[in-house]
Structure formats: structure tokens, C-alpha cells
């Protein structure tokens, strides 16, 4: 069984970003159309405490992850730094890890680590 068999999948938009422009991070376009695609994955949002370097707790330890299908991406080299929109909330992809089946060695999912952000229009 995979994460997709156990949890419900939701639709999300994968967004290609032009980063650090004069206007901030903006959605890239091609022929005046935004570079986005609608996909399905397993979204998880956690909220709680963070512990900083001084062992002090601070509320606001939000962490969002999205388990994506590996076949949805031609290459994982360009995923980090782009974004996703889940339930109307914009996130930047901060990192990826691979969910590998220990028996077959096959990558079953890509886990995207997300941080909430706003894209400039």
C-alpha cells in the first residue's frame, strides 16, 4: 500500500515561479498563460509549537507537506523554489524527499515540504 491508498487525495495547482523579480516571486507565463497544472496529491497541515535554538517554545510551528505522484513531474531538479496552491492558499516548495518502497526500490511518492507565501501579481 502507498500513501495514496491510505489517505484521501485532493486537487492542487503546481505553479512555476519566476523568483526574485522586482515585483517579488511571480507566476511564470508562456504565451501570456500562467505556467500551472492541476494535479492530485495528499496534503497534510500540522500546527503546534516550535522550539528555537535557546530551547524556548513558541506557538506557530506550522508545517505543510504534500505527497505528490512522481510521474506528474518530468524532472525533480526544478521543483524546489516553485509553488503549489492548495485550497486557495499559496505555498513555496522548500524541499523534497523521496518515498521509496524498501522491497522494490521504486519511488512511490515525492514529499514536498511547504511554507506559506504570497505570490506577487
**Domains in the chain, start-ordered, CATH in brackets?**
3-116 (2.40.10)
| DSSP labels, 31-69 | TTEE-EEEEEEEEEEE--EEE-TTS-EEE---EEEEEE-
Note the pLDDT tens digit of each residue in 70-99.
999 988 888 998 999 999 999 999 999 999
Cα 109 to Cα 5, 12, 23, 41, 94, distances in angstroms: 12, 15, 34, 9, 17
pLDDT > 90: percent of the chain: 49
**The pLDDT of residue 75:** 84
Instruction: Indicate the average pLDDT of the chain.
Output: 84
**The pLDDT of residue 51:** 59
Q: What pTM did the predictor assign?
A: 0.80
Residue 26: in which H helix or E strand, if any?
strand 24-27
Note the pLDDT tens digit of each residue in 14-35.
998 887 666 667 878 777 777 8
Amino acid at each position: 500500500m502507498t500513501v495514496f491508498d491510505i489517505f484521501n487525495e485532493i486537487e492542487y495547482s503546481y505553479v512555476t515561479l519566476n523568483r526574485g523579480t522586482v515585483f517579488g516571486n511571480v507566476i511564470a507565463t508562456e504565451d501570456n498563460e500562467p505556467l500551472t497544472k492541476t494535479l492530485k496529491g495528499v496534503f497534510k497541515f500540522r500546527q503546534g509549537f516550535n522550539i528555537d535554538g535557546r530551547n524556548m517554545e513558541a506557538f506557530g510551528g506550522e508545517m505543510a507537506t504534500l505527497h505528490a505522484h512522481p510521474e506528474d513531474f518530468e524532472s525533480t531538479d526544478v521543483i524546489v523554489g516553485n509553488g503549489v496552491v492548495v485550497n486557495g492558499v499559496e505555498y513555496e516548495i522548500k524541499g523534497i524527499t523521496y518515498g521509496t518502497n524498501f522491497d522494490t526500490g521504486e519511488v512511490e511518492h515525492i514529499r514536498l515540504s511547504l511554507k506559506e507565501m504570497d505570490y506577487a501579481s
